[in-house]
Amino acid sequence: QKEVEQNSGPLSVPEGAIASLNCTYSDRGSQSFFWYRQYSGKSPELIMSIYSNGDKEDGRFTAQLNKASQYVSLLIRDSQPSDSATYLCAVTGGSSNTGKLIFGQGTTLQVKP
Amino acid sequence: SAVISQKPSRDICQRGTSLTIQCQVDSQVTMMFWYRQQPGQSLTLIATANQGSEATYESGFVIDKFPISRPNLTFSTLTVSNLSPEDSSIYLCSVQQGLYGYTFGSGTRLTVV
């Protein structure tokens, strides 16, 4: 079982729709959760971090964390073509607590005009 | 958040040679992380570099192939040795930034011919 799992996609949504990206993780001791956006040929860019159960909103982005289900999600409202990218879920603070950040395989999002 | 300067941005190397990648951070950090991103794949952690101690390597990565130096709290190098075409990837360094999550360098695109 992979430590962090995402559906690789591609996930295709029309412009203006809500894009929903999901991630599960295996280490129940994980403490910090991140969503990164990566455009082709660029390095990952942090868009959301979440540390406690519930929702966290920042502009058009909402991160949701459910530690009991070991599940993290990212909602993108009013999706724009510029949101087309690969979204990487990343987790740290697991049982070994070494501070290392472990990534899922990423979900490719395509927003169609 | 920290600013990371990573060099070179890209290189084309012959089989059997080595490439050394440098990362300079504009603030002192305890841990630096080195990742590999193979074509079309997500980020895989190579090793964690702490100042004043040996790097900690992830499963599948060995010091002879990926020697790392960490001479001070703002600088680290990763060498990819005895290059083969399978080493063609993007290599990224990263630092942990507390509430800012993890910041990445701009990456080094390595092509082995």
CA B63 to chain centroid: 13
A98/B contact by beta carbon, under 8 A: yes
pLDDT of the residue at A103: 94
pLDDT tens for each residue of B45-84: 999 998 888 899 999 999 999 999 999 999 999 999 999 9
Q: Cβ of A98 and B56 within 8 Å?
A: yes
Helix (H, G, I), strand (E, B) or coil at B110: strand
Contact (Cβ atoms closer than 8 angstroms) between residue B76 and residue B67: no
The separation between CA A69 and the C-alpha centre of its own chain, rounded to angstroms, equals 15
Distance from CA of A68 to the nearest CA of B (A): 23
Q: Which chain A residues are within 8 Å of B107, Cβ to Cβ?
A: 42-43
pLDDT digits (tens, 9 = 90+) for B25-48: 999 998 899 999 999 899 999 999
Pairing of strands B10-13, B108-112: parallel
| Model confidence at A95: pLDDT above 80 | no
Cβ–Cβ gap B106/A100 under 8 Å: no
Alpha carbons B70 and A58: distance in angstroms, whole number: 36
- pLDDT tens readout for residues A30-55: 889 999 999 998 999 999 999 999 99
Residue ranges of B 7-46 with Cβ closer than 8 A to chain A? 31, 33, 41-45
A63 close contact with B: CB closer than 8 A: no
